Amino acid sequence: MIRAELNRTTFSCRDIAAILRLGRLPAETDAHDVRAVNHSPIKGEFTVQSVVSGIHTVVSDIRCNDDFSLVNPMRSSLMCLVLLGGSPITVHSSGRPAITLDHQRPIILNFSHNELLELRQKAGSRSAVGGIVICPEKIQSPPWSSYISDFSPLLDFYARPNNYLKLLPSQRCVRLVSEILSHNYNGKLRKLYLESVVLAFIVEIIRLMQVRDSHSEGLNLKHFGKVLAAREIIDSDIVNPPTAHELSQQVGVNITTLRINFRIAFNNSIGGYIHDRRLDKARALLRTQAPLIADVSRLVGYTNATAFATAYRKHFGYPPSQEVKTESEMDRRSAV
């Protein structure tokens, strides 16, 4: 059930409920619900996708002809949102000050059962917003339970009532939410793809939380921005990233300072980060496309397949051939 309060309009609560269906998100369904909205005072599209039990993606792109306010009763949950583009939106909820959702700056909020979330958008504005809703109780069961220790920052955050965080800008969060909208996968590949993107989004949120913590430990806001800019440059071309010297020139900071602050922010060196990201990309390719291992090694920036296999085994604890074998066995079982 969704409740909408619409200022200076005649748009009914029943209409908005029928269009949005963003009230108590279905906990067990595997629905992919896209709703086109073409009613005064709003036009646009809402997309809700169930990834696994207890985790949903929510994306909207709405243009308002009049001041608009949507009030939604929440389940006990965590919500991570990021403004993808357009005008800022104001987020209101019990026990917290109003939060402005700015471009590329994710926010995290926790909700108790039946707590109200209100999103306000001004007349004449257009805003695209996306993110995920997590029921923490659900992610403590498979397949997410294997990551439970990694999720501890989110679970600790959830345990504190009326909590919220506004994180630093992240192009990666924007890109991941955009990928949720633009993919062309169906069936089991769609489920696998969405799980991988949502997991990457959660990892990014946790990293931003850790970076925020490192700021409180002495890394100032200016250096925050430099480190995040450096990481975005690396991520834009993980196969052929710039050298540390080139990277320091591009972000405008001394190379020694960049190296030190990068390690503080991400608990990894620049080279170590590139190494880990390449191997993560390799595993995703092996699991989703099952190409030749030699081809994968080239696709992620390795010139020597043997060196790639050695690095893969050291990083994940098993060779890349085992990854391909595991996926092949799963395909055979699925076909039976």
pTM to 2 decimals? 0.59
Looking at the predicted structure, is the pLDDT value of residue 96 above 90?
A: no
Residue type, 4: A
Secondary structure class of 86 (helix, strand, coil): strand
Q: Highest mean pLDDT range out of 143-157, 168-182, 211-225?
A: 168-182
Residues 172 and 263 grouped into a single domain: no
Q: Model confidence over 301-335: pLDDT tens digits?
A: 999 999 999 999 988 888 888 876 544 443 443 34
141 shares a domain with 273: no
Neighbours of 97 (CB within 10 A): 8
Q: Does 138 map to a domain?
A: yes
- In a domain, residue 70? The reply is yes
Q: Is the domain of 56 the same as that of 147?
A: yes
Count structural domains, the chain. 2
Asked if 150 and 251 sit in the same domain, the reply is no
Highest mean pLDDT (candidates 147-151, 211-215, 324-328): 147-151
If you average pLDDT over residues 246-264, what whole number do you get?
91
| pLDDT confidence of residue 280 | 83
CB 293 within 8 A of CB 324: yes
Q: Provide mean pLDDT across the span 289-303.
A: 83
Residues 19 and 122 in one domain: yes
Both 140 and 78 in a single domain?
A: yes
- The CATH number assigned to the domain holding 42 equals 2.60.120.10
Contact 266, 273 (CB under 8 A): yes
DSSP state of 22: -
Question: Which pLDDT score is estimated for 214?
Answer: 56
Token pair of 28 as six digits: 């067990």
Q: Which of 6-10, 190-194, 251-255, 293-297 has the highest mean pLDDT?
A: 251-255
- Residue range(s) defining the domain that contains residue 327: 215-335
Report the pLDDT averaged over residues 9-22: 39
So what's the pLDDT on residue 335?
41
Helix (H, G, I), strand (E, B) or coil at 142: coil
CA distance 264 to 91: 31
- Please tell me whether residues 162 and 234 are part of one structural domain: no
CA distances from 97 to 53, 100, 164, 165, 256 (A): 31, 10, 10, 11, 39
- Tokens in use for 211? 């970076």
Higher pLDDT, 320 or 140: 320
The arithmetic mean of pLDDT across residues 142-168, rounded, is 79
Residue 89 · residue 131 · CB < 8 Å? no
The more confident residue out of 158 and 181 is: 158
Structure tokens that stand for 179 in this block = 């990928």
Span 280-287, average pLDDT: 80
Q: Hey, what amino acid is at 163?
A: N
CA atoms of 227 and 211, how far apart (whole Å): 10
Residues 29 and 157 in one domain: yes
109 within some domain: yes
| Distance, CA of 235 to CA of 258 (rounded, Å) | 16
24 and 145 part of one domain: yes
CATH code of the domain containing 302? 1.10.10.60
Question: For residue 202, is it within any domain?
Answer: no
Q: Are 58 and 41 in contact (CB under 8 A)?
A: no
**Could you tell me if residue 59 is inside a domain?**
yes
How far apart are alpha carbons 229 and 251 in whole angstroms? 7
Identify each DSSP E strand in 15-97 by its residue range.
32-39, 42-52, 55-64, 68-73, 77-86, 89-93
Same-domain check for residues 219 and 288: yes
Res. 117 pLDDT band, cuts 50 70 90: confident
More confident residue, 2 or 104: 104
On whether both 122 and 245 belong to a single domain, the answer is: no
